[in-house]
Amino acid sequence: MTSVYSKHVLPNGVRIVTSVLPEATSVAIGFWVDVGSRCEPHSVSGMSHFIEHVLFKGTHKRTAFDIAYSMESLGGSLDALTGRETTVFLSRCLPEHLNVSVDVIADMLSDPRLAENDIETEKRVVIEEIKSFEDLPDEIVYELLAKSVWNGDSIGRPILGNRESVSGFDSTAVRGFFESYYAPRSTVVAAAGNVDHDALVEHVSEALKMPGVETPASKETYASEIPRIYHEERDSAQCYICLGTLAPSYLEDRRYATILLSAMLGGGMSSRLFQVVREQLGLAYAVHSSCEFYRDTGLFTTFLAVDPEMKSRAVASVAGEFKRFKKNGLDKDELEGAKRQLRGSLILGLESLTASMSRIARLELYLGDYYPLEKSIEMTLAVTEDDIMEEAERLLEASTFSLVTVGPSPDETLTEADLDF
């Protein structure tokens, strides 16, 4: 399907971007706000995620039920997500119901009740969500790694916050944070699918009246309690392991080399780590590498879950593959295979309207610009073997890595010496 990209900036600063596919049978729309856990003072850790929740509790003309029923009754969906740097309210619907999605989300962002009783109720809900998260060691290990790698930077703070911080929220704090960050100039409305760009611009301009004026620019630092080598005791059947280091940002072109490197190391069943750690050694069911990119930083991670008695051997096998990669370089046709893999995943991924909508929103938020998928593919295909090896030397530097484990504590303790690559 061929899409047509358009952009319009409203007088108040709200940016509206669309990827129009007339032959699509539905629409994905997202209201993206340039705020996430990174923006929060330590005392209100989790506030961005909490506000995402409490906006669903009702507006001055819609109850919580009205909001939930608005799209479900039409066969559509309404959801929201909070990240480290963004919060998004999104909907999937039929084209004839797009105005309903816009009206409901715009009302949530423009005129929320933020009533004290709703805040007290939702505090209990979010604390239960935090408890649920704490029961998932495979999630906890990622959070601990982020704290360790981004030591002292607020981007490593937990998105959900913690029980203590959430317990202290009140309507004054919630409303103050909302009115500071939910500003028109911090908002991108993105839509992909069977959508009329001009009609969407007109409707958003009428419906969205956000109260915020200016987004504070400061990012608070804090003292991280997670060192480079860290173990958290848990009564679990497996030991969950994360190795990670800083990666390039979303704004750096070398991220394409990072993505390809990650794919070759642990991006699928044919990757080096899968073949060695799982297929040859039988140490793990799950083993993979991944990367995240943000405005001025990124994160490269390798994850695996193993028998607690095997954690030292498992880490040694990962370190051994990192070392072999840096010493021996790429295997024959390995880079071309990774490029085909990434090209295919990019093309197949954008068959999802939600993925297409998310792509144009992130391009606008991070770059203030748009380029077609073909350019992303072109930049991927342009990566050379020398680029990969330069990135491997830069990224796979043991002294910069953190090693975090969650699970039982066998007799053997991991140390910096285990990061031998």
Domain span holding position 46: 4-207
**191 belongs to a structural domain:** yes
* Residue 88 and residue 167 in one domain: yes
Under a CB-based contact definition with an 8 Å cutoff, are residues 90 and 28 in contact? yes
* Residue 322 and residue 185 in one domain: no
**322 belongs to a structural domain:** yes
**215 belongs to a structural domain:** no
Alpha helices in 37-156 (DSSP H): 47-54, 64-72, 98-110, 116-134, 137-149
Per-residue model confidence (pLDDT) at position 320? 97
Per-residue model confidence (pLDDT) at position 193? 97
Give the angle subtended at the CA of 298 by the CAs of 284 and 385, to the nearest 5°: 75
From 23, 40, 52, 139, the catalytic residue? 52
Q: Can you say whether residue 297 is alpha, beta or left, with left for phi > 0 and alpha for psi between -120 and 50 degrees?
A: beta
* Residue 248 and residue 147 in one domain: no
List of residues 6+ apart from 132 with CB closer than 8 A = none
pLDDT digits (tens), the chain, 421 positions: 678 999 999 999 999 999 999 999 999 999 999 999 999 988 899 999 999 999 999 999 999 999 999 999 999 999 999 999 999 999 999 999 999 999 999 999 999 999 999 999 999 999 999 999 999 999 999 999 999 999 988 999 999 999 999 999 999 999 999 999 999 999 999 999 999 999 999 999 999 999 876 666 556 666 677 999 999 999 999 999 999 999 999 999 999 999 999 999 999 999 999 999 999 999 999 999 999 999 999 999 999 999 999 999 999 999 999 999 999 999 999 999 999 999 999 999 888 999 999 999 999 999 999 999 999 999 999 999 999 999 999 999 999 999 999 999 866 789 999 999 9
**216 belongs to a structural domain:** no
Indicate the DSSP class of residue 301: E
In the numeric block, the tokens 């909001």 are attached to: 67
Query: Concatenated DSSP letters for 385-407?
Result: HHHHHHHHHHH--GGG-EEEEEE
**Phi and psi of 134, rounded to 5°?**
-65, -20
* Residue 310 and residue 413 in one domain: yes
In the numeric block, the tokens 């059947």 are attached to: 237
Per-residue model confidence (pLDDT) at position 214? 63
**398 belongs to a structural domain:** yes
Per-residue model confidence (pLDDT) at position 409? 83
**200 belongs to a structural domain:** yes
Catalytic site residue 321? Answer: no
Per-residue model confidence (pLDDT) at position 412? 74
* Residue 144 and residue 234 in one domain: no
The count of domains in the chain is 2
* Residue 295 and residue 235 in one domain: yes
Under a CB-based contact definition with an 8 Å cutoff, are residues 67 and 106 in contact? no
**Phi and psi of 181, rounded to 5°?**
-105, -30
- 29: domain CATH number? 3.30.830.10
* Residue 203 and residue 238 in one domain: no
Residue where one domain finishes, among candidates 174, 207, 240:
207
SS3 of residue 284 by DSSP: strand
CB atoms within 10 A of CB 87: 25
